[in-house]
Amino acid sequence: EREASFSEEVLAKGLDVTLETAQASVDSDRVHILNAIAEMPTLDGVPPAEHHNYQSVNKRLRCIFALAAWPAALRRGKVQAMRLPEILKADTEITELKYTFAGRRDLDSDSLHQFTSSLPSQLQRVSLDLSGCRSLTDAGAEKLGIVMGELPHLVSLTLSFFGITSIQSSGWKDFAAGLSNAPSMQELKLHGFASIDNLGLKDFALSLSRVSCLQDLSLDFGDIDTVGDEGAYGLAEGIAVMKQMKRITLGFSRCKALGDVGVKSLGSSFGQLPLLEHVALDLALCESVGDEGAVALASGLAGKQHLETVDFSFQKCSVGDAGAIALVDSLSGLVRLSSVRLNMADAAVGDAGVKRLFLGPPNLEEGTWVYTAPAPSDVALFAQWRAEDAQRSPAAKQTS
């Protein structure tokens, strides 16, 4: 780490920066900068000795130094001694924070709480990468949810937990329970649930369903062997009551315990969201998912007049012709639909399904239709299908 090599003296100077008393190699530059900050009518006059804008800029600069110094201070055990929490909280201008602790074994639950409890209350968007922070525990997850749920203006929260097995199902439940108090949260993106099980997912979704303003939800459960149909059913129950939801992205790639029963429940939950505009579902390598699940998803999407974008992956699933045809048919007639991606590479789709994918929904005349599917039994079929397609109005279509 570059910051780790900085001396405390060097870091301290940045943490105490005072712009109005700072020097510049060319004094006219200092004069111009101060006048610009103070919003003076001319840049060449004598800048004011004091101005409230100076204080705002000083706090912003000190916060930048504090965030840069935090990893080194954490390693040295000097976070409090260097006043980093105080400096971070004092920044009244920051509204968006993107920060990473990825791979830091020295970040435990107390250290994370020290950081998050110092976040300025006016923050609107927060993104934290905690991947590989294996010292975090259930207690840390609970505190994280509580702190984020108490930020009054927080609209968007993105968190990455990849590689953390020390947070168990009870921790995820308590984390979501803390978020349920969030008064303004509209967007939530969570990636990496290494140690959640079916019951934990059900409890997590129930707590999450109480976030009253949530409109955009993205959850990634990829590579989790402990999540199957029961967990998907519990998640679907939570989603179904989020009537304000507009965008849903769910990742279940390589969840080998997930099958048609769980996917059917998800399809049913999508059907109960009247404002749904975007849905993405990654079921790649979920080999137990077949036509029954795909048809249920199609039924959930049918008639969704607000729906604009669809992105489904059935790569190496057991979906065949019936599922492929049902999915394409369900999208026909959706007037706002503008973009569809269907990945059925290495699925069980035959000629009838590939043909329906090739032709695509007729209502996507001005939209984008992207699909991936096995090749037909005879490549000459493409010419025949193209001739049929020529009878329709030209559509913007990309095939692979």
pLDDT in tens, 269-293: 999 999 999 999 999 999 999 999 9
Instruction: Compute the distance between CA of residue 167 and CA of residue 196 in angstroms, rounded to an integer.
Output: 8
What is the average pLDDT across 141-160?
97
Buried b (16+ CB within 10 A) or exposed e, 273-282: beebbbbbbb
Q: Is the pTM of this model over 0.95?
A: no
Band (pLDDT 50/70/90 cuts) for residue 395 is very low
How far is the C-alpha of 105 from the C-alpha of 108, rounded, in Å?
Answer: 7
What's the pLDDT score for residue 8?
65
Quote the tokens at residue 173. Answer: 């439940």
Residue 311 and residue 339: Cα distance in Å, rounded?
A: 8
Query: Which pLDDT score is estimated for 383?
Result: 87
pLDDT of residue 81: 92
Helices (H), the chain: 8-15, 27-37, 52-76, 84-90, 109-116, 138-150, 169-179, 198-208, 229-240, 260-271, 291-301, 321-331, 351-359, 381-389
Helix/strand number for the chain, H first, E second: 14, 11
